[in-house]
Amino acid sequence: MARIVVIGAGMGAMAAAARLAVAGHRVVVHERSGTYGGALGGVERDGFAFDTGPGLLQLPAVYRDLFVKTGKEPLEQCVELSQVEPAVRHVFADGTAIDLPNASRAGVGEALDAALGGDAGARWSAFMNRAREAWDRTRRPLLEEPLWPNWQVLAEREPYPSVPHKRLLRRDLRATTLTGVGELELGGDARLLALLEQYALAWGLDPRATPASAAVLPYMEHTFGAWSVRGGMRALARAVYERCLARRVEFAFDSPVARIIEKDGRAAGVELADGTAHEADFVVAGVAPGVLDGLLSGVSGMSGAFGVNIRAEGDVRARAGLPSRLMVFLALRGPRPGGTPHRTVLHTPDRADELDRLFGEDPGLPLAPTLTVLRPDDPALTPDTEHEALTLTVTVPAHTRITGADVERLIARAESVVPGLRERLLWHEVRTPADVAEATGAEGGAVPPPSLAAGEGRFLHPANGTRLPGLFAVGGWSHPGGGLPHAGMSGALVAGLIVEGPDFRGSQ
Ligand SMILES: Cc1cc2nc3c(=O)[nH]c(=O)nc-3n(C[C@H](O)[C@H](O)[C@H](O)COP(=O)(O)OP(=O)(O)OC[C@H]3O[C@@H](n4cnc5c(N)ncnc54)[C@H](O)[C@@H]3O)c2cc1C
């Protein structure tokens, strides 16, 4: 039985903790805040409840596997999952609205044909077929296996089979970015381009620079669906926490780790902010790269735990500058109208401004950002059926300061897809990038995206094994990257690497 200290009680860290405890190890989680879940926080007021992190779950199979491998009760016995229908309503800049069915690629094609006309559905379906190839090629190395030692193969090879185009004298022009796929393969319809680019923007990635391999993001959603959790995503965090407790994982809350202790060239434990030291055979860190660097500052020869694993030195730190999220929670009087979609994406009418403000020289809140509106059909989130809890989310640059006028602008913009919003509004609360930073520790409130192939490795995350033997990285900032399913998989990979050793080749 090894003694294992886990730093942070985010979802990746807890997934690793539960699996390691089942393997017979003594696991203690030190969490600097007073609660578990990290990004999966919640706001409760006057009988309303809101998620401060993700509002929908993709690939629930990852958490199903966690619950199967760590106990008797399956996931569905611990939380109530349902596929939202429709998966999403898109409202484009020209006013076209379209409801996309959940987990039905054929249904999405039909809906696109009906709403956009032309050959929109056929083009999208053909794109999804190619996306499937990218998914088949990357699913194991970018979700289910530890980062390959020869990760350069993933960095250099584009798994998305883009269609060659002949243009004037240029032969075999091929899309290399997500925007390129939209422009060359989706027939020039600005709405299809917006639909596609939104998958990058929602993750804070610039679609003009995001490799075509990001086609796996819409593929995952359209194939495996989007799921809501009754009581909000916080209920999923609670279920994982309770599973950890049931497996005798110990939690120390309000227990910030100040330093990772090194002995004889190995991680040998942690020192807490109050100066107490806790010895361990393995340390598992579920924190952002900037935090981990700080925890290693006393360790000789460590100028960053990751660094050499992938990409050039410094890249990991640069990625901490990824965008964050701004969320506005709205408590509304009056019932949620029947037939309201769970999620509506209101696309920006000014794409150039949005891309410029998110990724340009002068970062800030776009004038009319792409806005995601969540309206869950869940009585557990409202005081009674005569009220509704609604969440607005936009991608904003990390560190962005938000003013009251910014929030008013967003609420006004949301009125176009939520008729009567202003009259129904009881109160609102705001979560800014600073609040995200407070919840997770990531600089500026940056939120990590899932790992993607190609792009010269800039979209990969560092391996779970670090340069310091005995120290492992878990959660959204390490392989296979951010997002609930990916962070959950990182827990499985770290547990596998510790239990089975460096030859562990991934979950089967
Ligand atoms: C606003 C927002 C929206 C998101 N939307 C989506 C989405 O739509 N879909 C999706 O799949 N994912 C989404 N994500 C990402 C997803 O929530 C995370 O990738 C996932 O929860 C994994 O988190 P993690 O394991 O990396 O830990 P984190 O949630 O980052 O938690 C890290 C934990 O470490 C603790 N910690 C930090 N420093 C120390 C220290 N020194 N000592 C002890 N503890 C410490 C923190 O307090 C925190 O609890 C979103 C995240 C945010 C913030």
**What are the tens digits of pLDDT across the range 387-434?**
999 999 999 999 999 999 999 999 999 999 999 999 999 999 999 999
Above 70 in pLDDT, residue 287? Answer: yes
pLDDT at residue 302 in the model: 53
pLDDT at residue 507 in the model: 73
Evaluate: CB of 40 within 6 angstroms of ligand 1.
yes
* Phi, psi for residue 372 in degrees, rounded to 5: -100, 130
Q: What is the pLDDT of residues 8-24, one digit of tens each?
A: 999 999 999 999 999 99
Evaluate: CB of 257 within 6 angstroms of ligand 1.
yes
Give the ligand 1 atom nearest the CA of 476.
Answer: 26
Give the ligand 1 atom nearest the CA of 15.
Answer: 25
Per cent of the chain over pLDDT 70 is 94
Q: What is the pLDDT of residues 200-232, one digit of tens each?
A: 999 999 999 999 999 999 999 999 999 999 999
Give the ligand 1 atom nearest the CA of 291.
Answer: 38
Above 50 in pLDDT, residue 357? Answer: yes
Span from the CA of 423 to the centroid of ligand 1 (angstroms): 34
For the beta carbon of residue 322, count every other beta carbon within 10 angstroms: 22
Of 397 and 306, which is predicted with more confidence?
397
Evaluate: CB of 217 within 6 angstroms of ligand 1.
no
Q: How far, in Å, CA of 17 to CA of 15, rounded?
A: 6
Angle between helices 61-70 and 484-500 (to 10 degrees): 40
pLDDT at residue 166 in the model: 76
Range 75-100 average pLDDT: 97
| Sheet-wide strand order for 277-279 | 257-263, 266-272, 277-279
Range 67-83 average pLDDT: 97
- Sketch the domain layout of the chain as residue ranges: 3-40+59-82+231-319+448-500, 106-224, 321-440
Above 80 in pLDDT, residue 451? Answer: yes
State the pairing for strand pair 282-285/3-7: parallel
Confidence band (pLDDT; 50, 70, 90) for 317?
very low
Span from the CA of 19 to the centroid of ligand 1 (angstroms): 19
pLDDT at residue 172 in the model: 77
Give the ligand 1 atom nearest the CA of 477.
Answer: 26
Among 287, 319, 396, 464, the mutation site with the greatest number of ligand 1 atoms within 8 A of its Cβ is 287
| Residue 353: alpha-carbon gap to chain centroid | 24
Evaluate: CB of 32 within 6 angstroms of ligand 1.
yes
Above 80 in pLDDT, residue 167? Answer: no
At residue 19's C-alpha, the angle toward residues 18 and 21, to 5°, is 65
- Give, using CA atoms, the residue closest to atom 34 of ligand 1: 8
Above 60 in pLDDT, residue 304? Answer: no
Give the ligand 1 atom nearest the CA of 445.
Answer: 53
Above 50 in pLDDT, residue 153? Answer: yes
Whether the CB-CB separation of 130 and 215 falls below 8 Å is answered with: yes
* Mean of pLDDT over the chain: 94
Size (the chain), residues: 508
Question: Where does 92-215 show beta strands of DSSP type E?
Answer: 97-100, 165-167, 170-173
Q: How far, in Å, CA of 346 to CA of 369, rounded?
A: 8
CB burial string 48-73: b at 16+ within 10 A, e below: bbbbbbbbbbbbbebbebbbeebbee
Q: How far, in Å, CA of 478 to CA of 311, rounded?
A: 13
Evaluate: CB of 7 within 6 angstroms of ligand 1.
yes
Q: How far, in Å, CA of 83 to CA of 183, rounded?
A: 31
pLDDT at residue 297 in the model: 83
pLDDT at residue 499 in the model: 97
pLDDT at residue 111 in the model: 97
pLDDT at residue 322 in the model: 85
Spelled out in words, what is the top-level CATH class assigned to the domain 3-40+59-82+231-319+448-500?
alpha beta
State the pairing for strand pair 266-272/170-173: unpaired
pLDDT at residue 170 in the model: 65
Evaluate: CB of 256 within 6 angstroms of ligand 1.
yes
- Give, using CA atoms, the residue closest to atom 46 of ligand 1: 440
Above 80 in pLDDT, residue 303? Answer: no
Is the peptide bond prior to 86 cis by the omega test (within 30 degrees of 0)?
A: yes
Give the ligand 1 atom nearest the CA of 491.
Answer: 25
Q: Which of 191, 68, 71 is nearest to 121 (CA)?
A: 191
Evaluate: CB of 11 within 6 angstroms of ligand 1.
yes
